Amino acid sequence: MSPELSWLSATAILFFLYILGETVAGNRQYKPKELLGPRDNLAPYSPALGRAKRATANMIEAMCMFVPVVLVAIISERTNEWTALGCALFFFGRLAFAPLYWFGVPVLRTLAFFVGVVGIVMIFIQVIPFSGV
């Protein structure tokens, strides 16, 4: 398996952990009876659950950019040390992002976000048609 596919697989597992974090926060706020029903009249989200939901939504948006660009790099056979490093940066940036967001750490969370963005950009530069690679 290529390094990029390994990082992509690890990121899918990480995404599951984001969802698990959101689930834990939801279970801490609501009673099981409330969660087993249609959830029509739930109380507003607590700050912790709101942050967990926003972190998950942010991860979905990030994966919508990360997954296609990684697959394009692999399919077009334009993978190299930069694409592997970009995948690693994305993964570790997103790994740090989740708990920083869950616990409301402002500046470090933003830095972790940008580490992930840098990773995507590194991969994208390798696959854009005029990159010359």
Q: Tell whether the model's pLDDT for residue 13 goes beyond 60.
A: yes
CA distance 65 to 85: 16
Q: Tell whether the model's pLDDT for residue 32 goes beyond 90.
A: no
Higher pLDDT, 39 or 23: 23
**What's residue 66's pLDDT?**
98
Confidence label for 122 from pLDDT (cuts 50, 70 and 90) = very high
Q: For the beta carbon of residue 9, count every other beta carbon within 10 angstroms.
A: 11
What number is the average pLDDT over the span 14-18? 98
What number is the average pLDDT over the span 9-25? 97
In the structure encoding, which two tokens stand for residue 83, read together?
Answer: 């694409």
Q: Tell whether the model's pLDDT for residue 129 goes beyond 90.
A: no
Cα torsion 16, 22, 24, 27: sign: negative
Q: What digits encode the pLDDT tens for the residues 60-100?
A: 999 999 999 999 999 999 999 999 999 999 999 999 999 99
CA distance 125 to 120: 9
**Structural domains in the chain, sorted by start:** 3-131 (1.20.120.550)
In the structure encoding, which two tokens stand for residue 85, read together?
Answer: 């490093």
Alpha helices of 1-133 — where are they, by DSSP H?
A: 3-29, 32-36, 47-75, 81-102, 106-127
Instruction: Find out whether 127 and 72 touch, Cβ atoms under 8 Å.
Output: yes
**What's residue 40's pLDDT?**
85
Q: What percent of the chain has pLDDT over 90?
A: 85
What number is the average pLDDT over the span 47-60? 96
In the structure encoding, which two tokens stand for residue 51, read together?
Answer: 């942050």
Mean of the per-residue pLDDT values of the chain: 94
